[in-house]
Structure 1
Amino acid sequence: MDVVADAVEWFTEHVPDGWFEGPLEVIADREELLVVGRLAAGTSPKRFREATRDARVAIARPAEVRYDRAVSWAVRVDDQLVRFSHLSVPVMTRLRVEERHVLDLLIEGGIARSRSEALAWCVRLVGANESAWLDELREAATKLAEIRSRGPAC
């Protein structure tokens, strides 16, 4: 099942008309679904958040069961993404001394307060500056998953 496509369809059916302009966007990983809608120009994200809180929680509960993931919400206002909630998931990694030096330099330079924050900064930097390469990698991974699904059952 394509979780994102299914979730877009499911949330589109359950989100009240008039909340957002245009189609919903769903960003997913193993732990979380981030539901993003575009607000009409001049709409206050803070007021929208307060006015829709109970309804968003009521919509999220069955979705969390259906998709076995936390549901978070955000809105787009102009070019800005305003998150109402999100998960911050710890990720364990092993780094060699040279890699740790990079993180420590980011701390010493005031870019980050911890190695964890420095690593998150590095990930955001790659995401922002290598989007074409990441898109190509994502397409290759999708193609590989399709080929594997047609292969022999183990």
Structure 2
Amino acid sequence: MNTIEGWFAGRLPDDWFEGTPEVTVDRDEIVVVGTLPAPEVGGEKGDAEDTDGARAAESGRIKRWREDTRGKRMRIADEAQRRFGAKVAWGAVCGDTRELFTNLSVPVMTRLRQPERRVLDTLVDANVARSRSEALAWCVRLVGQHEDEWISRLREAVSAVYEVRDEGPASDAGAG
């Protein structure tokens, strides 16, 4: 558990989530997603109407939690932003429903050659995306979904590099 995860584990009220919330951190944002208890709904399992009802109940449970905790979440987010220098976004999982609340959409500059631009333009022309920016985000999500295991292994490798680097001798750059 890293410092930020530990801070949230200690700072969040114990009755907010089932278990420890998932805390994801990048350069710009901290996203905290907790699991809420699934509401009891009647009906036969597997029935399409029952599934729709369960999803509606789960979404309603998330909305209620979001409204009921708004003030405390904002205060905790302000504390975390001062402490860690990153915006905080919140989310919740309830049953099969996952929702994030007002998380950042950060612009990223990229240079693409014509073959890559043509891919994006094809997605726009086919109404898969409204713009090149949206098409690129769609491509990144698709790679993330289909290459999840590889991306996870890559993140672990990068983390190991940071750990080894931090264990090394202190840099004397600028000394002398």
Q: Do Structure 1 and Structure 2 share a fold, with TM-score over 0.5?
A: yes
Paired position in structure 1 for 2:48: none
* 2:59 matches 1:62: no
SS at match of 1:94: coil
SS of equivalent to 2:127: coil
Deviations for 1:46-83, whole angstroms, at most 9, x for unmatched residues? 11111110010011111001110001100011233211
Query: What does the per-residue CA deviation read over 1:32-52, in whole Å, with 9 as the maximum and x for residues that have no partner?
Result: 000110011116111111111
**1:151 Cα deviation from its structure 2 partner:** 3.6
Pick one of 140, 143, 148 that aligns with 2:160.
143
Q: Which one of the candidate residues 50, 69, 72 is aligned to 1:52?
A: 69
Displacement over 3 Å in runs of 4+: none
Quick one: which amino acid aligns to residue 147 of structure 1? V
Residue 122 of structure 2 is matched in structure 1 by 105
Match of 1:17?
14
Amino acid at match of 2:38: A
Give unmatched runs, 5+ long, in structure 1.
Answer: none
Sequence identity of aligned pairs in percent? 50
Aligned Cα RMSD in Å?
1.4
Q: Which has the larger radius of gyration?
A: 2
What is the TM-score normalised by the length of structure 1?
A: 0.92
- Tell me how far apart the structure 1 counterparts of residues 101 and 167 of structure 2 sit (CA, whole Å): 40
Give unmatched runs, 5+ long, in structure 2.
40-57
> Deviation at 1:149?
2.4
1:127: how far off? 0.5
